[in-house]
Amino acid sequence: MRVLGIETTCDETAVAVVELDAAGRSHIRSNAVLSQIAAHAAYGGVVPEIAARAHMDVLDRLIERAMAAAQVRIGDLDGFAAAAGPGLVGGVMVGLTAAKAMALVAGKPFLAVNHLEAHALTARLTDDVAFPYLLLLVSGGHTQLLAVRGVADYVRLGTTIDDAVGEAFDKVAKMLSLPYPGGPAVEREALKGNPEAFDFPRPMLGRAEPNFSLSGLKTAVRLAAERIAPLSDQAVSDLCASFQAAVVDVMVERTRVGLKAFRAELGKPTCLVVAGGVAANLAIGRGLTRLATEAGLKLVAPPLELCGDNGAMIAWAGIERLRLGLTDGLDAPPRPRWPLEARAQPVAPSAMPAPALPDAGAAEALPAGVLPG
C-alpha cells in the first residue's frame, strides 16, 4: 500500500510517499519539505497570506520531486492524503485541492487527514507502537495530553487554557529580540545560561486535572527583562535558560498527572509518546525520559525530521485510515479548527486562578530591546 501525503497547514510545504509492505513494515519512500522561514522572518511569525501563496508557488514541483525520489508514478499510488486542518485555512485549501485533483485523475481514494492525528500516529510509523498510549502533543499551536486508543479514537485528558508551549517559546524569543523561529533560538541561548538565575513560576503545578497554562510564565519573563534592561548577552541567555527550565518542570509534572488520569481510565499505557515541533527540544526530551523511566514506560519521540510538519506523517495517517476503510469524499472541507476528540470542549481561562506574577512596577513603556509578549 502506497500513499502520497501533502502537508500545507502552516509554513512548510511538504510532500511524501510512504509504503506499507506485505509484511506490515512501513517505509518512507520520499519526504520532501520546503520551509518558508526566510519569507516570514522579517515579521517575527507566520503571515497567512504569504504562506498560502508560497504553497501555491511550489507545491506542484514538490509533488514531482517527491514522486521522482520515491520512483513512483501516479498510477502506482493507492491513495492521496492531505492535511485538511487544523491550520491556516488558505494554506490548507492549497494542499487539499491538489490531493483531491490527483485522487480524481487516478481514480483512487482520497483521505482528509487531521494534522493532529498525523502527529499522534507518527510513533506507529517510526516505532510500530501498540495502542493504547499516552501522547503529549506539543507544537506552536497545540499543547495537549491525549489517550490514543486507536485510529480515530482519542480521549483528551488535558489541554492548554491559554498559550501553546511552542507559542510561548516564540513570544519569549520575540520579546528578547531573538531570531525567528523562536523555539530553536531560545534553546540555543539556554545552553549558555544559568537555569537558576531567575525564579520563574511553574503555572498549574499541583492541580488535579492535567491542563497547562503558559501565559503567566511568559509574562514573568517579560517583567524580569524589563527590570534588568538594557539586556546583556548573558542576561538573555540566563532568561532563556530559566524560562526553559520552568517549561520543562511544567511539561513533566503535567504529564505525570496525565499519566495518572490515563491509568485511572484505561490502565497502563504501552508507552509515553511526545510529538509535534517542540518534541525536538532536548531539555524537554530529557525531562520526559526521566518521567518515563520512573513510570516504567518507554519514551517514544520521532526523529528530528518528523517532529515538525512533514508529508510523511500525513501519508502514514492516510495509510492507517485507508486500511480501515476510512476514506473521504471530494467534498471534504478545509477546517481551520478540528479537535481530535469530537466531544472535547474548550477550557475556560476565566475558571482558573490567575498566576502570581512579580510586581510590574510603574513603567508604561518597555525598555529598548524588549518587545511586548
371: number of Cβ within 10 Å: 14
Give the residue with greater pLDDT, 262 vs 361: 262
- Give me the mean pLDDT over the 120-149 stretch: 95
3-state helix, strand, coil in the chain (%, to 5): 45, 20, 35
Judged against a pLDDT cut of 60, whether residue 144 lies above it is answered with: yes
Torsion sign, CA atoms 139, 141, 145, 150 = negative
Q: What are the b/e assignments for 175-209, b being 16+ CB within 10 Å?
A: bbebebbbbbbbbebbeebebebbebbbbbeebee
Overall average pLDDT of the 298-324 stretch: 96
Band (pLDDT 50/70/90 cuts) for residue 342 is: low
Residue extents of the structural domains in the chain: 2-126+309-322, 133-270+346-351
Query: Is residue 362 scored above 50 in pLDDT?
Result: no
Tell me the backbone φ, ψ of residue 300, rounded to 5 degrees.
-115, 120
Q: What integer best gives the mean pLDDT of the chain?
A: 91
CATH architecture of 133-270+346-351: 2-Layer Sandwich (3.30)
CA-based nearest residue to 59, from 32, 30, 89, 88: 32
What is the Cα Rg of the chain in Å? Answer: 21
Of 40-54, 119-133, 312-326, the least confident: 40-54
Residue 113 has pLDDT above 70, yes or no: yes
When pLDDT is averaged across residues 354-363 and rounded to a whole number, the result is: 34
Span 127-149, average pLDDT: 94
At residue 22 the predicted structure's pLDDT band, cuts being 50, 70 and 90, is very high
Contacts 24+ apart (CB under 8 A), 44-47: 44/174, 44/180, 45/170, 45/174, 45/180, 46/10, 46/11, 46/88
* Arithmetic mean of pLDDT, 91-116: 97
List pLDDT tens digits, range 211-254.
999 999 999 999 999 999 999 999 999 999 999 999 999 999 99
In sequence order, what are the beta bridge partners of 212? 160
Distance of CA 173 to the CA centre of its chain: 18
Which contiguous run of DSSP H or E holds residue 83?
A: strand 79-85
Nearest to 285 by CA among 295, 297, 273, 296: 273
Confidence band of 347 (pLDDT split at 50, 70, 90): low
pLDDT average, residue stretch 140-152: 93
Q: Which residues contact 45 (CB under 8 A, 6 or more apart)?
A: 170, 174, 180
Does this chain's domain 2-126+309-322 share its CATH topology with 133-270+346-351? Answer: yes
pLDDT value at 367 more than 60? no
CATH number, domain 2-126+309-322: 3.30.420.40
Beta-strand pair 272-275/26-35: unpaired
pLDDT at residue 370, as a whole number: 35
Amino acid at position 360, single letter: A
